Amino acid sequence: MLKCTFCGRRAAYNRRYAGVLLCDRCLIKSVEKRFRRAIAKYKLLLPGERIAVAVSGGKDSVVAMHLLVEHCKLKNCELVAITIDEGIKGYRDQSMAIVRENAKSLGIEHFVVSFKRIFGATLDQMARRARARKTELNPCTYCGVMRRSLLNQAARELEADKLVTAHNLDDEVQAIMLNYVRADFSRLHRLGPAYSPREGFVPRIKPLREIPEKEVALYALLRGLKVHLAVCPYVGGIHTEIRDFLNQLEANHPNSKFMILRMFDRLKPQLAGIVPEFEMRRCKSCGEPTSAIICKSCELLKGLGLRRLRKTLNSPKSR
């Protein structure tokens, strides 16, 4: 039996990048400590703030929700949860039940905003339209752009000071690599523990950014949290290839993910002068902030022959 480096109990995790073995208790403590440290180090949250957390029901967002509840008790913050229901049959419908259960047991107000209600079509319907129209865009493009926009809008309408997303180390490093591969300079530049506020946007923060995906999963499992462990039917393409490549790299060379993150964080301040500043205006069609005449969501909808049905979410309370 292999023992925890710190307390001698049976080890549950080999943290190879640090050369230590951790038992269940020490792993849980360590994850909680890293979460608090990220908040303090990057000043992600201030006492008394109203926090909105984006929750899908997957392990990352459920863990974020549980950690935030503790934080809010100590720092006198208010917490609300937002779920975007994209309308992915057999996937989001299942995870929604899990979010509701967690929100209820934690006593958090929970709001749901659905694609169907706002855009008049579910993601499944959009995917079918995209195929029929041969737009050559995959469902993730619609999903990502529209979900981000609705999350921001919901957080803004709920008067949140911050919007928490549950991106872990793996998510962040994958995003760094993806933006390298696509040479997407402006997206790359927006990555980081916090996305600086601009008018019309609720600042987005990522307190799990320095916790590896496997440690988030272990935290959820060891604490016995109710999480949705399923894979979206649309996942695939280059995202998956980059994820697999990074996992291979980490398995063969522990600490690679952290090194990529640290290098990016050191380079990022140097990028500030190079990225063109866009003037923010309001989308002609829906009024949401954008740097173009119409926002990306409206542009994508137009390409599908759809249009936004509602401008405001009108207190999108969960039913």
Q: Can residue 167 be called a binding residue for another protein (CB under 8 A)?
A: no
Q: Can residue 24 be called a binding residue for another protein (CB under 8 A)?
A: yes
Place of tokens 């993730």: 140
**Residue 21: alpha-carbon gap to chain centroid:** 28
The count of chain residues that interact with another protein, using the rule CB under 8 A, is 35
- How far apart are the C-alpha atoms of 192 and 279, rounded to whole Å? 21
Stretch touching another protein by CB under 8 A, among 150-158, 203-211, 241-249, 263-271: 241-249
By a kind-dependent CB cut-off of 5 to 8 A, residue 214 interacts, out of another protein, Zn ion, ligand SF4, none, with another protein
- Report residue 291 as tokens: 């740097």
Q: Can residue 219 be called a binding residue for another protein (CB under 8 A)?
A: no
Cβ-based neighbours of 37, under 8 Å, separated by 6 or more: none
By a kind-dependent CB cut-off of 5 to 8 A, residue 263 interacts, out of another protein, Zn ion, ligand SF4, none, with none
Shortest reach from residue 259's CB to ligand SF4, in Å: 26
Q: In what order do the strands lie in the sheet with 78-85?
A: 109-114, 78-85, 50-54, 162-164, 204-205, 194-195
**Closer of 161 and 299 to Zn ion (Cβ):** 299
Shortest reach from residue 243's CB to ligand SF4, in Å: 11
**Closer of 103 and 246 to another protein (Cβ):** 246
Closest CA to 219 of 69, 63, 65: 63
Whether the CA torsion 181, 187, 190, 193 is positive or negative: it is: negative
**Closer of 25 and 50 to another protein (Cβ):** 25
Binding site for Zn ion (CB under 5 A): 4, 6-7, 9, 23, 26, 283, 285-286, 288, 295, 298
According to CB under 8 A, which residues from 50 to 89 bind another protein? 56, 58-60
**Closer of 24 and 157 to another protein (Cβ):** 24
Inter-residue contact 84 to 92 (CB < 8 Å) = no
Alpha-helical segments (H) within 107-138: 115-119, 123-132
Residue 14 pairs in a beta bridge with: 21
Of positions 40, 181, 251, 271, contacts another protein by CB under 8 A? 251
Shortest reach from residue 247's CB to another protein, in Å: 4
Residue 20 pairs in a beta bridge with: 15
**Residue 313: alpha-carbon gap to chain centroid:** 21
Place of tokens 């992915």: 88
Shortest reach from residue 41's CB to ligand SF4, in Å: 29
**Closer of 19 and 197 to another protein (Cβ):** 19
Binding site for ligand SF4 (CB under 6 A): 139-140, 143-144, 232, 234-235
Shortest reach from residue 257's CB to ligand SF4, in Å: 20
Distances (CA, A) of 75 to 23, 40, 50, 159: 29, 12, 11, 18
By a kind-dependent CB cut-off of 5 to 8 A, residue 158 interacts, out of Zn ion, another protein, ligand SF4, none, with none
